Structure 1
Amino acid sequence: MLGIAMTLPANENDRAGVPDDATLAREAMAGSVQAYERIYRRHAPRLYAVIWRICGRHAARAEDVLQDTFVKAWRALPGFRFDSALGTWLQRLAVNTALMELRARGAMADCESGDHDLEALAGADESARCAGTGLDLERAVATLPPRARAVLVLHDIEGWKHHEIAEELGMAVGSSKAQLHRARGLLRKRLGESR
């Protein structure tokens, strides 16, 4: 890709004299790979977490989607208009890339009409279980149908509004609300069954 490696300390953003995202974006638009590497290091951990959840906790897929996201961002950066924060723009790009990956794999269509296979829950080891539920919540989220999982992650974890989710996923606001209701119901059921 661009030879980007995450080697800077996590607190890089807190150091005095570190350029803000807008400055780094402008430098990267002018061709500075170093500025783009700083953008990557600053935003990659959070984007990876979102992608990982949307991809159903598949680390290899999430890493591929993260790399695809930053390749797309590098190509699209000259068109970035600063209408929103760079982090917001990158997150939208990451979510779109993750959803496109799910569609490409056929996961949306395969899982849309029914519950995801619960065999993934049976393999949960004792060290990864939540106290009081007997099940790792992250594992339960990973078993949700992809569309319901995406809505749950974007709404309950990332704090998106239903109109934003509907626009991003190409659905009606009512469908977003229905998918969230479905996801929460499935989680309650699965967490209840694990006791």
Structure 2
Amino acid sequence: MPAATVAEYPDAADVLAAAGGDRLAFRRLYQRHVARVHGAIYRLCGYDHARAEDLTQEAFVRAWQKLGSFRGQSAFGTWLYRLAVNVALMDLRARGADPVGFMDEEDLPEPGETPFCAAERDELARAISQLPPRARAVLVLHDVEGWTHEDIGLELGMATGSSKAQLHRARGLLRKLLGAS
């Protein structure tokens, strides 16, 4: 990582030390970022605690192994988060996550439409966990993590319109699971 980058990001000194083999520096990075990484993976793997724990550990193992490839072009947390999401998505693919049915684009919801209520969080988590894996991935990446359809399409190997259709389908399935009309 270039020296100019060290001053730009709060993790930079620990990243440099960890890349040199300093396990305590890596532990500090872990402690700073584990909650966000685990949260994203937990949602992507359908609220399965054991699987989320395993995948979070795998993400940090890979981060340790690939730390030398981190170039400092973004914040370490951004790099780590992306690596962790990739771990979860690779797990979905390995489990044979097939796309769910598609809907026409004219049936897509308006931007900003939010079909969920905070008071139903537990029920919503259970419903999301029941979605087909690809539909769940698109829903979580878009509605929870804030990814664009373009980024989702690139990551999941689908067209932007397919990502939008998957999101619409996931929301429709959620409405059914939650008993909404």
* Interval containing the TM-score (normalised by the shorter chain): 0.7 to 0.9
The unaligned stretches of length 5 or more in structure 2 are 1-8, 102-117
- Tell me how far apart the structure 2 counterparts of residues 170 and 37 of structure 1 sit (CA, whole Å): 34
Aligned to 2:88: 98
**2:177 is aligned with what amino acid?**
R
Aligned to 2:30: 40
Q: TM-score, normalised by structure 1?
A: 0.74
| Structure 1 residues 106-128: Cα deviation after superposition (integer angstroms, max 9, x where no partner) | 3x03xx347xxxxxxxxxxxxxx
2:47 counterpart of 1:57: yes
Query: 1 or 2 for the larger relative contact order (CA 8 Å, sep ≥6)?
Result: 2
Provide the aligned C-alpha RMSD in A: 2.1
- Tell me how far apart the structure 2 counterparts of residues 138 and 46 of structure 1 sit (CA, whole Å): 17
Aligned to 2:62: 72
SS at match of 1:140: helix
| Alpha carbons of structure 1 residues 99 and 27: separation in structure 2 relative to 1, 3 Å | same
Cα drift, residue 26 of structure 1: 1.1
SS at match of 2:167: helix
Cα drift, residue 134 of structure 1: 10
Q: TM-score, normalised by structure 2?
A: 0.80
Task: Count how many residue pairs are aligned between Structure 1 and Structure 2.
Answer: 157
SS at match of 1:136: helix
Aligned to 1:167: 154
In the TM superposition, structure 1's runs of 4+ consecutive aligned residues that sit over 4 Å from their partners are: none
| Structure 1 residues 80-111: Cα deviation after superposition (integer angstroms, max 9, x where no partner) | 011111111111111111111122223x03xx
2:132 counterpart of 1:145: yes
**1:182 is aligned with what amino acid?**
R
Aligned to 1:155: 142
| Alpha carbons of structure 1 residues 26 and 184: separation in structure 2 relative to 1, 3 Å | same
Q: Please say if residues 140 and 187 of structure 1, whose CA atoms lie closer than 8 Å, have aligned partners that are also in contact.
A: yes
Q: Please say if residues 92 and 134 of structure 2, whose CA atoms lie closer than 8 Å, have aligned partners that are also in contact.
A: no
- Tell me how far apart the structure 2 counterparts of residues 134 and 23 of structure 1 sit (CA, whole Å): 38
| Structure 1 residues 120-142: Cα deviation after superposition (integer angstroms, max 9, x where no partner) | xxxxxxxxxx85x6971111111
The unaligned stretches of length 5 or more in structure 1 are 1-18, 115-129
2:175 counterpart of 1:184: no
- Tell me how far apart the structure 1 counterparts of residues 137 and 143 of structure 2 sit (CA, whole Å): 10
